[in-house]
Amino acid sequence: MRKDFYIFRHGETDYNLEKRWQGCGIDTDLNETGICQAKVLVEKLASKNLEIIYSSALKRALKTAEIIADSLNLEVKVIKDLREGSFGESEGLRKDEAALKYPEIFNLWYDEKADHLDVAFPGGETKRQMQQRMLGVLEGLLKTRESVIGIASHGSSIRYLLLGFGKILGRLTNTALFHVVYEDGEWRVEDE
Residues annotated catalytic, as ranges: 10, 154
Q: Give whole-number Cα distances, 82 to 43, 95, 133, 155, in Å.
A: 23, 23, 8, 11
Residue type, 131: Q
DSSP for 59-119?
HHHHHHHHHHHHHHT--EEE-GGGSPPP-GGGTTSBHHHHHHHSHHHHHHHT---GGGTT-
